Amino acid sequence: MSIPLPVFEGEGGWFSRSGPEHDVVLSSRVRLARNLADSPFPAKMSDEEQAEFESIVTPVFEKHFRSPAWCTFDMDILSAQHRQLLRERNLLATTDALARPFLLIARADERALLSVNVRDHFHLTGLRSGFDLQSSFADAKSVEAELESELRFAVNMEFGYLTAEVDNCGTGLRGSVLVHLPGLAAMEATQRVFGELLFDHFRVKGFLSSRTESLGHVYQISNKESLGKSEEALIRELEGAVGELLLLERAARTQVLQARTARTREMFRRAWEMLTEAEVLSAEEALTGLLNIRFGVSSGIIEDVTLPKVTALLFQVQKCHILERVAGDEMDIDVDAERADFVRQILGGRLKQRDR
């Protein structure tokens, strides 16, 4: 049975919560790829093999993931709008194919996820606000433990966990951190720092983009390697790289705020004015303005809105969230007007900037 997440109840959503180092790091995510032993990968399954797979895993799901704490989404019957809404919340990867029926099982707090029958049989994910890879890893491992108590995973003594994609063999672990780097961008130092700090060991992807150029200077940093190191070692390496990046970004922000005080305050004022006075807002306009406001809030200059609230807006202003909020269809709703109205409601009022 497919049921909706409590998207619009109060401050619902993983992104509405604060987390460690939240001024720079928006989120931490750890995904483990696992497959059943003696069963073809999803893309190679015949109809009979698919039926056999379902007969094996369904009782396990019924036993471990059917409590009120878990929500199940059947992608075979979910509407395109609701699938996209899950992607907007970062609960569903944009690369998840729908070649075969698959499920997304999400804990109600959205911090633990189980994707079934995508590229691999299972993608086990932990997701947290802020810089908290350890908690994300622990959440993913807790889902793994539930499955491993009932199922046998495909493991090779030489290659570790066997996965549908060679890059994921070994630990099957992909850790990623979403960072906001307006300070380094203002210093025109982002690409240089990426080159010096991340080298060939990490991937960099833009926010809402597969390119390294990103909307609003938000980037996803993830590990490239999965084979030859332990899960714990991969997490520590990513933590170390992001920790250095965090220090460089904070130093850059301090320098920008000291050297370009008037210019930076004017940027905050214009962003606030656009967001609170516009009658229509495109998604790009809203996201760009909100990320400027986020810089102001995290720097302690803007006090009119909290950091978790403005961070949550980055996800809530995307198209399918707006459509779901007004219970409308894209053909009947002016999404840009509804987005502008929603942002005005949340921000409201005139901007008050604290003296520094």
Residue spans of beta strands (DSSP E) within 211-354:
218-223
pTM of the model: 0.90
Beta strands 122-129 and 155-156 are: unpaired
Determine the pLDDT at residue 73.
87
Determine the pLDDT at residue 7.
45
pLDDT digits (tens, 9 = 90+) for 132-167: 999 999 999 999 999 999 999 999 888 889 998 888
Determine the pLDDT at residue 71.
87
User: Measured between alpha carbons, how far is 117 from 35 in angstroms, rounded to an integer?
Assistant: 9
Average pLDDT value for residue range 234-245: 96
Domain spanning 14-255: CATH 3.30.590.10:
yes
User: Measured between alpha carbons, how far is 97 from 130 in angstroms, rounded to an integer?
Assistant: 28
Instruction: Please say if the pLDDT value at position 58 is more than 70.
Output: yes
- Both structure tokens of 337: 């007007």
Sorted by sequence, the CB contacts under 8 Å of residue 316 that are 6+ apart come out as 13, 322, 325, 342
Cβ–Cβ < 8 Å for 276, 342: no
Q: Is 343 left (phi over 0), alpha (psi -120 to 50) or beta?
A: alpha
User: Measured between alpha carbons, how far is 281 from 277 in angstroms, rounded to an integer?
Assistant: 10
Average pLDDT value for residue range 62-67: 88
Q: How many CB atoms lie within 10 A of CB 101?
A: 14
Burial bucket for residue 180 (CB in 10 Å: 0-12, 13-18, 19+):
buried
CA torsion sign for 240, 30, 196, 188 is negative
**Residues facing residue 204 across a β-bridge:** 221
Determine the pLDDT at residue 217.
92
Tell me 76's DSSP state.
T
Instruction: Please say if the pLDDT value at position 94 is more than 80.
Output: no
* Mean pLDDT over each residue of the chain, to the nearest integer: 87
Domain boundaries, the chain: 14-255, 261-347
Determine the pLDDT at residue 214.
63
Instruction: Please say if the pLDDT value at position 354 is more than 90.
Output: no
pLDDT digits (tens, 9 = 90+) for 80-93: 888 888 888 888 87
CA torsion sign for 239, 241, 243, 246 is negative
User: Measured between alpha carbons, how far is 284 from 18 in angstroms, rounded to an integer?
Assistant: 24
Instruction: Please say if the pLDDT value at position 6 is more than 50.
Output: no
Determine the pLDDT at residue 356.
56
Determine the pLDDT at residue 213.
55
Cβ–Cβ < 8 Å for 239, 133: yes
User: Measured between alpha carbons, how far is 14 from 18 in angstroms, rounded to an integer?
Assistant: 9
Instruction: Give the pLDDT band (50/70/90) at residue 355.
Output: low
Helix (H, G, I), strand (E, B) or coil at 31: strand
Instruction: Please say if the pLDDT value at position 307 is more than 50.
Output: yes
